[in-house]
Amino acid sequence: MEYSIKPASANQGTLLILGASSFVGNRLYHSVGMQSAVGTFYKNTKKQMRYFDSVRMNLNDIIGVSDNFSHAVILLGDTQPNSCITDIAKSNAVNVESLIRIIDVLIEKDITPVFISSQFVFDGAAGEYVEEDAVNPILVYGRQKVHIEEYLEKHSEKYLVLRLANVYGDSPGDGTLFTSWMDKVFGGATQITCASDQKFSPIYIEDVVEAIIATTNNDCIGTYHVAGPQRYARVELLMMLLSKLEKYIELDIAVNTCSINDFDLPERRPIDVSMKPEKLVRDTGIRLNEPSEICDQMIHDYLVQR
């Protein structure tokens, strides 16, 4: 069945989106609507959202007596693996210590925590992971995510963990998977270097938003993989995009392949972090978009704007 998004009802309570100015948070906030959600920002000032510094403030500081939150989606934090290891103390302060304080307040107020975790809780040795597979992070960022997952499991009987795969958007300049390549192509690039060994299950940003709304509306609890329907190597996705573009414009781009760990990265990256979304689909009925469908739509939009 195809799942349709429904707004929160009056008796269901509103959605608190912590980190609503982030890439996923902003899309979620505008999809749910201001009548059904309250969002927070930190660095990126947004009108009608509440300022919240998770390191220096207590969550109680921004929750009023009239607020009726059923769920709190935790999207704030340092989501860049490279910066997490560059300053571990700083990233721990926001990704672990501040989130524990937030979760404690949510539990006290009977608000269901919805923790946005990551594919990087896995070591990438096997791929096509399901929710029951043992976690074994090799990145600092992944270990921070596992720390919060385990804290929730130990301290709360009613929580959601949504592990995100590689999330891609469709807006020029958003810096995600396909748009970064599109921007290079239309910026005059003559070559693109791409990893041939890294594998994941890319998921469209609107599917992520729908998955968050679907799981909260259906009062799902436990852990879910929010991933695309198929596993791809990164270079496969690049070649898919270029082959579709060639139908409309003449291309002269050399694709240079390498290992993901040939790049100058502060930590070795896991190779295959693909995840299977069957549990999410089963419990919500959500329909997940194929990357090829979104590529067609994206190319059309780029060409129209030129």
- pLDDT for res 9: 40
Reported as a pLDDT band with limits 50, 70 and 90, residue 3 is very low
Q: Report d(CA 111, CA 98) in Å as an integer.
A: 17
Average model confidence (pLDDT) across the chain: 94
CA distance 27 to 15: 14
58 lies in some domain: yes
Of the candidates 42, 45, 23, 27, the one whose C-alpha atom is nearest the C-alpha of residue 180 is 23
**pLDDT tens-digit profile of 275-302?**
999 999 999 999 999 999 999 999 998 8
- pLDDT tops 90 at residue 84: yes
Residue 48 has pLDDT above 60, yes or no: yes
* 7 inside domain: no
C-beta pairs of 172-175 under 8 Å, 24+ apart in sequence: 172/302, 172/305, 174/23
d(CA 153, CA 169): 31
Indicate if the pLDDT at residue 16 is higher than 60. Answer: yes
| Residue 1 predicted with pLDDT over 80 | no
> Domain range for residue 72?
14-169+202-230+273-289
Which CATH number characterizes residue 78's domain? 3.40.50.720
47: pLDDT strictly greater than 90: no
Residue 242, domain member (yes or no): no
Residue 225 within any structural domain of the chain: yes
Considering the chain, what percentage of its residues have pLDDT values greater than 70?
96
Terminal-to-terminal C-alpha distance of the chain: 38
Residue type, 192: I
Tell me which of 34 and 174 has the higher pLDDT.
174
For the segment 9-21, the average pLDDT, to the nearest whole number, is 78
> Count of domains in the chain?
1
Give the pLDDT score at 12.
Answer: 57
pLDDT score of 8 more than 80: no
Looking at the DSSP bridge assignments, the partners of residue 232 are 200
- 180-198 average pLDDT score: 96
The pLDDT of residue 11 is above 50: no
13 pLDDT band, cuts 50/70/90, is confident
Question: Residue 265 domain-assigned?
Answer: no
Task: State which H helix or E strand residue 177 sits in.
Answer: helix 177-186
Lookup result for tokens 């972090």: 273
Nearest alpha-carbon partner for 52 in 66, 65, 38: 38
Residue 134 has pLDDT above 50, yes or no: yes
Q: Is residue 70 part of a domain?
A: yes
- 261 assigned to some structural domain: no
Cβ-Cβ contacts under 8 Å for 288 (sequence gap 6 or more): 203, 204, 207, 228, 229, 277, 281
The answer to whether residue 237 is domain-embedded is no
Q: 70 near 8, Cβ under 8 Å?
A: yes
Give the residue-averaged pLDDT of 119-131.
98
pLDDT of residue 280: 98
Whole-prediction pTM: 0.94
